[in-house]
Amino acid sequence: MVVYKGKTAGNLRQYIKNKPDKWGFKLFARASEDGSIHDMVLYQGKTTLEAHDVPQTPEQKVLGATSQIVAVLASTMSCPTTTAIFADNFFTSLELVQYIRDQNCRYTGTARDNRIRSPPLKSIKEMGKKAVPRSTCDYFTSDDGILAVRWKDNKAVTLLSTDMGVEPMSSVIRYCSETKRKEPVSCPAVIRSYNANMGGIDKSDMLVHLYCTPMKSKRWYLHLFAYVIDASITNAWVGHPLKDFRIQVFRGASGQMPATSSSRRSSSLSVESLTTSSDIPKPVRGHRSHTPNEAVRFDLSLFHAPVRAKRQTCKYCSSKGNILRSNVACRVCKVHLCMNSECNCFIRYNDKLA
């Protein structure tokens, strides 16, 4: 859900009671388990799938409304034969599982009881009885290779799968109200696989909402534009703290980063820019000194030239009990570094291997 409480978006704005953000734009998305979004479509009522770039096939049109969404989003996958799809009971139906299997793709999803055509399994009412112990499992495999599993945890849950089987059985830890402690409970392999791979959309929503772009506008489409930017930044983030990565993107987009070698020209470097020290942060007693971003510090294409400044502690070679001071600073990193006949910290500070 993309939060929007205005009234200018017409029927595009939806109300979903059980969502944390009840008013907003509803998006259906396909994401990997790490939270990267690969495809999405905005809910627009009957014309939802008409806005998607890929036209529907006759096989897709005979599916149910929610199953069509999964089929269309799955049609943009680059390698369906090596991919497994996981979805919740809002989308899963027996017709969808059969269609995905015919496309040589694997599928696993929880299912509602009225969408699986009554396979020979214990009923949900029977599984819910107190006499039936937790971890009870009942399953059935059809002739065309579709597995239906009903497993009792706190409640009975039903899954359809063409990806995993029941074996090997593993164990999960659950709290027992009778013994007042946590105990191991047997769990089918398909349930464990579903729980391990199902959280991609939830992780993406969490990452997007951690540092979302503030947007207050009467123009409803700007809220969707801000969400697309946030989702794109989240997708681009790999191996960095998300907050630091967003700050780097902001600085690069707003021109606050030092110029790179591709955009730097020798004629733009004046004598004053090489000799001034007015932009070097002043030290504050009791505070740590300024630390440059690693992307800037180790970028040797930048002009790490020394400039004269007021004498301060060397950022590289000083330590507690051994303070060395220098009146030379780096114009890019904006930190003081030793540069004399005995010690030259410029090369070592800007070298990753140092």
- State the number of CA atoms in the 13 A half-sphere of 159 facing the CB: 30
Instruction: Clarify whether residues 175 and 89 are in a common domain.
Output: yes
Using CA atoms, how far apart are residues 176 and 94, in angstroms rounded to an integer? 34
Pick the closest to residue 209 from 21, 9, 44, 18 (CA basis): 21
Using CA atoms, how far apart are residues 162 and 97, in angstroms rounded to an integer? 8
Residue 31 included in any domain: yes
Specify the higher pLDDT residue, 262 or 1.
1
Using CA atoms, how far apart are residues 77 and 30, in angstroms rounded to an integer? 9
Structural domain count, the chain: 3
- Write down which residue in 182, 198, 214 finishes a domain: 198
Instruction: Clarify whether residues 5 and 60 are in a common domain.
Output: yes
* Sheet strands (E) in 55-96: 84-87
Using CA atoms, how far apart are residues 53 and 49, in angstroms rounded to an integer? 9
Instruction: Clarify whether residues 216 and 301 are in a common domain.
Output: no
b/e map 191-215, b = 16+ CB within 10 Å = bbbbeeebebbebbbebbeeeebeb
pLDDT in tens, 105-156: 999 999 999 998 888 999 999 998 888 988 899 999 998 889 999 999 889 9
Cis before 168? omega within 30: yes
Residue 112 included in any domain: yes
Instruction: Clarify whether residues 132 and 227 are in a common domain.
Output: no
Residue 262 included in any domain: no
- Write down which residue in 179, 198, 217 finishes a domain: 198
Residue 134 included in any domain: yes
pLDDT surpasses 50 at 268: no
Cα angle vertex 165, ends 161, 168, to 5°?
150
What torsion, rounded to 10 degrees, do the Cα atoms 161, 165, 168, 172 define? 20
345 residue type, one letter? C
Using CA atoms, how far apart are residues 200 and 5, in angstroms rounded to an integer? 26
Instruction: Clarify whether residues 317 and 345 are in a common domain.
Output: yes
Residue 354 included in any domain: no
Instruction: Clarify whether residues 103 and 177 are in a common domain.
Output: yes
Instruction: Clarify whether residues 70 and 212 are in a common domain.
Output: yes
Using CA atoms, how far apart are residues 320 and 36, in angstroms rounded to an integer? 44
Using CA atoms, how far apart are residues 91 and 89, in angstroms rounded to an integer? 5
Instruction: Clarify whether residues 66 and 157 are in a common domain.
Output: no
What DSSP state is assigned to residue 150? E
Q: Per-residue confidence at 274, pLDDT binned at 50, 70, 90?
A: very low
Instruction: Clarify whether residues 206 and 251 are in a common domain.
Output: yes
Pick the closest to residue 197 from 154, 150, 159 (CA basis): 159
Pairing, β 156-161 against β 147-152 = antiparallel
Using CA atoms, how far apart are residues 221 and 4, in angstroms rounded to an integer? 10
Instruction: Clarify whether residues 306 and 250 are in a common domain.
Output: no
Using CA atoms, how far apart are residues 205 and 24, in angstroms rounded to an integer? 14
pLDDT in tens, 66-95: 999 999 999 999 888 889 999 999 999 999
What is the model's pLDDT at position 154?
Answer: 87
Residue 264 included in any domain: no
Instruction: Clarify whether residues 317 and 285 are in a common domain.
Output: yes
- Write down which residue in 149, 170, 198 finishes a domain: 198
Residue 26 included in any domain: yes
pLDDT in tens, 26-54: 999 999 988 889 999 999 988 888 888 88
Residue 156 included in any domain: yes
103 CB contacts (<8 Å, ≥6 apart)? 74, 80
Domain that holds residue 93: 79-198
Pairing, β 181-187 against β 170-176 = antiparallel
Instruction: Clarify whether residues 288 and 331 are in a common domain.
Output: yes
pLDDT surpasses 50 at 267: no
